[in-house]
């Protein structure tokens, strides 16, 4: 049996707190059979609407489908979208006590018009508030985070730059993680690297890494150089960079300098990369919480991402799907 499989057995014993931007993803499926007489645009005849959690909610969906107990901390508006998000969290079985309702805020909603004939998106409508939370809302969120942090094995921050992860909220997360001796893992979107100082592990994609250090993503050595700068700047325990078809790179500081481990992709087919980063960070956090070292956690996250890109839309992953994809023996990552 692959030694990585033993960590999968512990996933159902783990509790993870996700702090991040909650969204509603809507998919409006229909037929396009004519052009509007009012303007040269296609008319979609709605057949089937679908709604699911997006953003940090997709991270929660993946954690839940992997068997973990999940807790959500975030903010929604006092509107129909916010109510739908809370209902979907309830259906998921997530603890939403730390999700704050702000009557002055508009919940984030992404509505996609989807063609059944072509199986693809033809239009997207976004509705959101992206200003930073502050005052009483920020205070209540921080209090909720501090309360929930007592009972979790890891805290995961999912940043979509919708105003939830303010510097003060992030520092409250990092302080709580240190106090309770659990890892704080961040999927960053902001180019302001300083706001993430205090995190144990950052998990950006290559483009996000380049933005964090103000580098150009080209040349032979840019990735290692950028990783070195970010690890040193933020005093990180580890940095995991997702690279799409090129897999992942793990960087860990040590006495001999920065150690780099390349984890090649295991995707057999790529249908849709939407949400693959959410799947990867969910699997990585769960593996780390289950006692895996960073290299083993990165390998499991890579297998999870390799499965989910073969599905349509923002899909989630199960332990069985990861286990079925694991080879009989562990992969030897190139260092």
| Residues paired with residue 213 on neighbouring β-strands, in sequence order | none
Q: Which residues, in sequence order, are CB contacts of 214 under 8 Å at separation 6+?
A: 191
In order, the DSSP letters of 16-50 are: EEEEE-EEEEEEEEEEEEEE-SSSSSEEEEEEEEE
Cα–Cα dist 108/129, whole Å: 7
Is residue 314 within 8 A of residue 277, CB to CB? The reply is no
| Residues paired with residue 334 on neighbouring β-strands, in sequence order | 262
**Secondary element (H or E) of residue 323:** helix 319-325
113 SS3 class: strand
- Which residue in the list 190, 278, 293, 324 is annotated as catalytic? 278
**Which pair of tokens denotes residue 260?**
């780099």
Write phi, then psi, for 247 (nearest 5 degrees): 80, -135
**Which pair of tokens denotes residue 104?**
């002055």
Is residue 183 within 8 A of residue 222, CB to CB? The reply is no
Residue 293: active-site member: no
| Residues paired with residue 16 on neighbouring β-strands, in sequence order | 70, 154
Active site members: 278
């Amino acid at each position: 049996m692959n030694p990585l499989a033993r960590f999968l057995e512990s996933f159902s014993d783990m509790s993870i707190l996700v702090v991040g931007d909650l969204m509603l993803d809507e998919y409006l499926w229909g037929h396009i059979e004519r052009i509007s007489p009012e303007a040269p645009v296609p008319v979609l005849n709605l057949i089937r609407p679908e709604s699911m959690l997006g953003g940090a909610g997709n991270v929660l969906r993946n954690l839940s489908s992997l068997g973990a107990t999940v807790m959500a901390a975030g903010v929604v508006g006092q509107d129909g979208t916010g109510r739908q998000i809370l209902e979907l969290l309830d259906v998921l079985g997530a603890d939403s006590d730390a999700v704050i309702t702000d009557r002055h805020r508009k919940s984030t909603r992404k509505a996609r018009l989807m063609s059944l004939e072509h199986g693809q998106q033809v239009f997207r409508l976004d509705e959101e508030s992206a200003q930073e939370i502050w005052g009483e809302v920020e205070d209540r969120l921080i209090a909720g985070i501090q309360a929930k942090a007592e009972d979790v094995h890891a805290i995961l921050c999912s940043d979509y730059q919708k105003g939830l992860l303010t510097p003060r909220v992030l520092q409250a997360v990092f302080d709580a993680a240190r106090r309770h001796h659990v890892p704080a893992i961040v999927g960053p979107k902001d180019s302001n690297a300083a706001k993430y100082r205090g995190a144990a592990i950052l998990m950006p994609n290559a483009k996000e890494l380049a933005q964090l250090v103000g580098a150009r993503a080209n040349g032979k050595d840019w990735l290692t150089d950028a990783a070195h700068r970010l690890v040193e700047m933020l005093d990180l325990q580890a940095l995991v960079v997702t690279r799409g078809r090129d897999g992942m790179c793990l960087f860990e500081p040590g006495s001999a300098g920065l150690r780099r481990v390349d984890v090649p992709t295991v995707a057999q087919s790529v249908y849709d990369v939407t949400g693959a980063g959410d799947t990867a960070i969910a699997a990585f956090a769960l593996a780390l919480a289950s006692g895996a070292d960073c290299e083993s956690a990165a390998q499991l996250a890579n297998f999870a991402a390799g499965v989910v890109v073969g599905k349509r839309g923002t899909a989630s992953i199960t332990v069985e799907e990861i286990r079925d994809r694991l080879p009989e023996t562990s992969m030897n990552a190139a260092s």
